[in-house]
Amino acid sequence: MNRRPLGRTGLDVSTIALGTMTWGEQNSEQDAHAQLDLALSAGVNLIDTAEMYPVPPRPETQGLTERYIGSWLRRSGRRHDIVLATKATGPARTAVRPSHVRDGDLLFTRANLFRAVDLSLQRLQTDYIDLYQLHWPDRSTNMFGQLGYRHVADEDTTPIEETLAALQELVQIGKIRHFGVSNETPWGLSRFLHLAGQQGFPRVASIQNPYSLVNRTFEIGLAEIAIREQTGLLAYSPLAFGVLTGKYLDGQRPAGARLTLFERFVRYASANTGQAAGEYVRLFRKHGIDPAQGALAFVTGREFVTSNIIGATTLEQLQSNLASATLELSAEVLEEIEAVHQRWPNPAP
């Protein structure tokens, strides 16, 4: 498994990261431990989670994902073998509506972030977090599939300077090592970078946004920043919730699959997304490539990607997804991918 620099942190992370948001909902604690063991045996060292997980977010399950990682760390003793990343839940003005987390105190203020970090550390059974990420912006902006920007004046938000000052304190006392942003916009990422350079705050190490064959919007405004500023992408939903595996083609709804179980996930369920996914699946099959591995290899191969976050509900799925790390797509396949992209540009933003 190859590794790439995590921004300017001095840490190197595997090109494939293990995503965990099904643990506690679709996966048991035993499943989670088995996935961690398998991923590390394949060379993965970046483990990504969030205080809000599992998804869909429910009060009854909130925090279970971090607890499963914590019990694995206690059992395995392998804390120094991983780069551990988690996230602070943002304000409940988004479609996610996680108002049950921390009693709804979700603005990125000093008090809220300190409490969030302490609770995550308890669940994770560790003394420090390698990469602490802001799960989504502390302001109204377009994210989670929202295309049009609707400015909200005079809303209750935390100044970015206050958030950065809190993160700086957390770094100084050793509870976190570095920080990143998630579901962020070009303005937001640029603002964090500007203030860090201007006022000496910690620098953004990474940005975790969606990126896949059916959602390449990151390329439009963020890819250049990621490359020039060394704030690489941690790509989530690289298989578009499994749509790019081909398992949902022609209206199929396999038992136990996420889009079968949870009607709330409409982001990747449009007719146009299905059409585009069908073309990509047929393209890969024509070249003798497993569609899931092909879709993952495309993401991992992007210049602006630091790590590709994969998730799985079975060890068989995880094993297959991990195998994508050694797959390099030919120039012919990449050219055909671009042709499909021109016909179906970003149907699942």
Determine the pLDDT at residue 268. Answer: 82
Query: For residue 155, what are the contacts with CB-CB under 8 A and spacing of at least 6?
Result: 93, 139, 140
Determine the pLDDT at residue 142. Answer: 84
Enter the pTM of the model: 0.95
Q: How many CB atoms lie within 10 A of CB 339?
A: 11
Q: How far apart are CA 137 and CA 89, in angstroms?
A: 9
Determine the pLDDT at residue 99. Answer: 87
Instruction: Kindly state whether residue 109 falls inside one of the protein's structural domains.
Output: yes
Determine the pLDDT at residue 256. Answer: 67
Low-confidence residues in the chain, pLDDT < 50: none
Over the chain, what is the mean pLDDT?
94
Determine the pLDDT at residue 92. Answer: 77
Determine the pLDDT at residue 163. Answer: 98
Domain that holds residue 202: 3-242+305-327
pLDDT digits (tens, 9 = 90+) for 243-262: 999 988 877 777 766 665 66
Determine the pLDDT at residue 248. Answer: 83
Determine the pLDDT at residue 329. Answer: 98
Determine the pLDDT at residue 267. Answer: 74
Instruction: Kindly state whether residue 230 falls inside one of the protein's structural domains.
Output: yes
DSSP string, 37-51: HHHHHTT--EEE--T
CATH of the domain at 78: 3.20.20.100
The tally of domains found in the chain comes to 1
pLDDT digits (tens, 9 = 90+) for 89-123: 999 775 566 889 999 999 999 999 999 999 999 99
User: In this structure, what are the phi and psi dihedrals at residue 46, rounded to the nearest 5 degrees?
Assistant: -95, 120
Instruction: Kindly state whether residue 338 falls inside one of the protein's structural domains.
Output: no
Q: Which residue, among 220, 268, 259, has the nearest Cα to 240 in the 3D structure?
A: 268
Looking at the annotation, which residues are catalytic?
53
Instruction: Kindly state whether residue 133 falls inside one of the protein's structural domains.
Output: yes
Strand runs labelled E in the chain: 3-5, 12-14, 16-19, 46-48, 83-88, 129-134, 176-182, 204-210, 233-236, 305-310
Task: Scan for tokens 């604690």, then name that residue.
Answer: 29
Instruction: Kindly state whether residue 250 falls inside one of the protein's structural domains.
Output: no
Determine the pLDDT at residue 149. Answer: 87
Determine the pLDDT at residue 269. Answer: 80
Instruction: Kindly state whether residue 165 falls inside one of the protein's structural domains.
Output: yes
Secondary structure (H, E, C), 216-256: CCHHHHCHHHHHHCCCCEEEECCCCCCHHHCCCHHHCCCCC
Instruction: Kindly state whether residue 340 falls inside one of the protein's structural domains.
Output: no
Determine the pLDDT at residue 264. Answer: 61
Instruction: Kindly state whether residue 100 falls inside one of the protein's structural domains.
Output: yes
